[in-house]
Chain A
Amino acid sequence: MAEFNIQSDSVDVTRIMEQIRQRIREKRGRDYTEQQIRELATVKLERFLDPQQVRSDLVEHYRQLEPPAALEPIRYERPGPAPEPFDFDEHTIYASSRGTMGKLIRLIRKLLNPILKLFLNPTPVVFALSRQAEINAWTLQLLQQQTDLAERVTKQFERAGAKFAAREELDALNYEVLNNLVVEMTRLSVDMKNHRSLVESVAGRLDFDERRARALESVVQHRSPQPSPGEDGERASSTASGRTRRRRRRPRRRPGAATTADDGTNNDTATAAGTPSETAPTAPPPDTATRPVGTTVPDAVPPRHYGATPPPAPVVEPSAPPPETTPPPPSAASSPDPEPPTPAVPPVADAGAPDPPPTPQTSGQQRDAPAPATAPATETVAPTSPTGDASTDEQ
Chain B
Amino acid sequence: MKLAVIVQRYGAELNGGAELHARYVAEHLARHAEVEVLTTCATDYITWRNELDPGVERVNGVPVRRFPVSRERNVDEFGRRSVQVFEEPHSVAAELAWLRSEGPTSPSLINHLRRRGDAYDYCLFFSYRYYHAYHGIRVTGPRAVLVPTAERDPALGLGIFGGSFRGVRALMYNSHEERALISAISNNDAVPGVVVGIGSEVPAHPEPQRFRQTTGIEGPVLIYVGRIDENKGCHELFDYFQRYARLSPQLTLVLIGNPVMPIPTHSRIRHLGYVTDQEKFDAMAAADLLVMPSHYESLSMVTLEAWALGRPVLANGRCDVLCGQCIRSNGGLYYENYEEFAETLHSIVSNSTLRDALGMNGRAYFNTHYTWPVIERKYLDMLDRLEREDAAQVTRPEPLPIWGRRRRNLPPGRQVVDRLPTGPAARADGTRPTGRSAGNS
Contact = CB atoms under 8 A, between A and B. Distances in A.
A21 B317 CA distance: 13
Contacts of B72: none
B327 A14 contact: yes
A331 B397 CA distance: 117
Nearest to B354: A6
A16 B343 contact: no
A8 B360 contact: yes
A13 interface: yes
A364 B332 CA distance: 55
B350 A3 contact: yes
Nearest to A25: B339
22 contacts: A1-B343, A3-B347, A6-B351, A7-B357, A8-B353, A8-B356, A9-B357, A11-B354, A11-B357, A11-B358, A13-B327, A13-B333, A13-B334, A13-B358, A14-B433, A14-B435, A17-B333, A17-B334, A20-B333, A20-B340, A27-B339, A34-B337
A12 interface: yes
A24 interface: yes
B346 interface: yes
Given A3-B351, A20-B343, A23-B343, A14 B357 contact: no
B344 interface: yes
Nearest to B338: A34
B22 interface: no
Interface in A1-58: 1, 3-4, 6-9, 11-14, 16-18, 20-21, 23-24, 27, 34
Nearest to B358: A11
B106 interface: no
B108 interface: no
Contacts of B50: none
A320 B408 CA distance: 95
Main secondary structure on B side of the interface with A: helix
A283 B334 CA distance: 79
Given A11-B354, A13-B333, 10 more contacts: A3-B351, A4-B351, A8-B357, A13-B330, A13-B334, A14-B435, A18-B434, A20-B333, A20-B340, A20-B344
Interface in B347-405: 347, 350-351, 353-354, 356-358, 360-361
B361 A4 contact: no
Nearest to A13: B330
A37 to B, nearest CB: 10
A11 B347 contact: no
Contacts of A1: 342-343, 346-347, 350
Contacts of A6: 351, 353-354, 357
A40 to B, nearest CB: 15
B88 to A, nearest CB: 31
B64 interface: no
Interface in B291-345: 326-327, 329-334, 337, 339-340, 342-344
A20 B344 CA distance: 7
Contacts, number: 60
Contacts of B337: 34
A13 B343 contact: no
Contacts of B350: 1, 3
A-B pairs with the 9 shortest C-beta distances?
A8-B357, A11-B357, A6-B354, A1-B346, A6-B353, A20-B343, A13-B330, A24-B339, A11-B330
Contacts of B353: 6, 8
Contacts of B346: 1
A8 B343 CA distance: 19
A34 B337 CA distance: 10
B354 A13 contact: no
Interface of A: 1, 3-4, 6-9, 11-14, 16-18, 20-21, 23-24, 27, 34
Nearest to A16: B333
A267 B351 CA distance: 74
Contacts of B342: 1
A3 B357 CA distance: 14
Contacts of A4: 347, 351, 354
Nearest to B436: A17
Nearest to B361: A11
A368 B304 CA distance: 66
User: Which DSSP category, helix, strand, loop or mixed, fits chain A's interface?
Assistant: helix
A1 B361 CA distance: 24
A34 B346 CA distance: 20
Nearest to A9: B357
Interface in B123-167: none
A265 B16 CA distance: 107
A58 to B, nearest CB: 33
Contacts of B357: 6-9, 11
B340 A24 contact: yes
A20 B434 contact: no
A44 to B, nearest CB: 19
A225 B298 CA distance: 110
B42 to A, nearest CB: 41
A71 B317 CA distance: 49
A21 B356 contact: no
A174 to B, nearest CB: 38
Contacts of B331: 13
A7 B329 CA distance: 16
Nearest to A34: B337
A3 B329 CA distance: 22
A23 B354 CA distance: 17
Contacts of B339: 24, 27
A1 B350 CA distance: 10
Interface string B241-255: 000000000000000
B331 to A, nearest CB: 8
A18 B436 CA distance: 10
Contacts of B334: 13, 17
A16 B347 contact: yes
A350 B343 CA distance: 72
- Name the residue among A8, A16, A17 with the largest chain B CB count within 10 angstroms: A17
A41 to B, nearest CB: 14
Contacts of A21: 340
A20 B347 contact: yes
A6 B353 CA distance: 7
A11 B326 CA distance: 11
Given A3-B351, A6-B357, A14 B344 contact: no
Contacts of A17: 333-334, 344, 435
Nearest to A27: B339
Contacts of B327: 13-14
B293 to A, nearest CB: 17
B289 to A, nearest CB: 13
Contact of A24 (B332, B343, B435): B343
Contacts of A23: 343
A7 B339 CA distance: 24
B351 A12 contact: no
Nearest to B435: A14
Contact of B330 (A3, A12, A18, A24): A12
